[in-house]
C-alpha cells in the first residue's frame, strides 16, 4: 500500500514493521449531509401543520438556513386557519401567517448581504410552491434538492422552465 510520507516516517520512528489494514468507514455524500442539516433546521419550525427546513449552499459552504413559520415579531399561530377551513396543502397561501423555509433562507441572505447566485438549496419537506419557485429563480438559485414532492406542480414546472435543476432525493437519515 502506498502511504503518505508522514505516516511512513511515523511508523518507522515507532518501529512498526507491518502496516495495519487501512480503516474504512462509510461517509455520507454531500447531498445527504446538507439534507440532514435541512431536516434539523425544520425542527425550529413554528408551523402547526408542516415542518420544513432549508439550507442554501454554494461550493459546499452554508450561506443561510430557513424554516417555515410566522415572521419575526409576529405571534405564532394558536391553531391552523388553513386546516380549520379545510384548505388543501399547496393552495391559498395568502391566508397563512407563515413564511416558507425557502423564503426565510433568501431573506436571511438579503439581510446579511450574501449573494444566492449559483447556489443550491436543500429543502426538507417538499418541492417549492409556485411563489417560492419564482423567488428562487430570481435569486439565481441554480439547483433545488428536495426530500419529497409537494402538492403544487406549478413550482417544479416553473423551475424546470427557467433551467433550474430540481431533484428529489431519499436520505438514510
Catalytic annotation, residues: 102
Strand 120-124 and strand 61-67: the pairing is unpaired
Grid coordinates given for 153 = 406542480
Asked if 121 contacts 146 with a C-beta cutoff of 8 angstroms, the reply is no
The CA distance from 40 to 37, in Å, is 5
**Among 31, 61, 74, which residue's Cα sits nearest to residue 171?**
31
**Which residues have a Cβ under 8 Å from the Cβ of 68 and sit 6 or more positions away?**
45, 46, 47, 50, 51, 52, 98, 99, 100, 101, 104, 125
Amino acid at each position: 500500500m502506498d502511504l503518505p510520507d508522514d505516516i511512513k516516517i511515523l511508523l518507522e520512528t515507532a518501529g512498526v514493521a507491518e502496516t495495519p489494514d487501512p480503516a474504512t468507514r462509510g461517509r455520507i455524500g454531500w447531498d445527504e449531509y446538507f439534507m440532514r442539516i435541512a431536516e434539523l433546521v425544520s425542527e425550529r419550525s413554528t408551523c402547526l401543520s408542516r415542518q420544513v427546513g432549508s439550507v442554501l449552499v454554494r461550493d459546499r459552504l452554508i450561506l443561510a438556513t430557513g424554516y417555515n413559520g410566522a415572521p419575526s415579531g409576529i405571534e405564532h399561530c394558536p391553531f391552523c386557519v388553513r386546516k380549520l377551513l379545510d384548505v388543501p396543502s399547496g393552495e391559498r397561501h395568502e391566508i397563512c401567517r407563515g413564511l416558507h423555509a425557502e423564503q426565510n433562507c433568501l431573506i436571511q441572505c438579503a439581510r446579511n448581504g450574501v449573494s444566492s447566485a449559483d447556489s443550491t438549496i436543500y429543502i426538507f419537506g417538499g418541492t417549492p410552491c409556485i411563489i417560492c419557485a419564482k423567488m428562487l429563480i430570481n435569486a439565481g438559485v441554480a439547483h433545488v434538492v428536495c426530500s419529497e414532492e409537494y402538492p403544487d406542480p406549478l413550482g417544479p414546472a416553473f423551475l424546470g422552465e427557467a433551467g433550474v435543476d430540481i431533484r428529489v432525493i431519499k436520505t438514510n437519515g
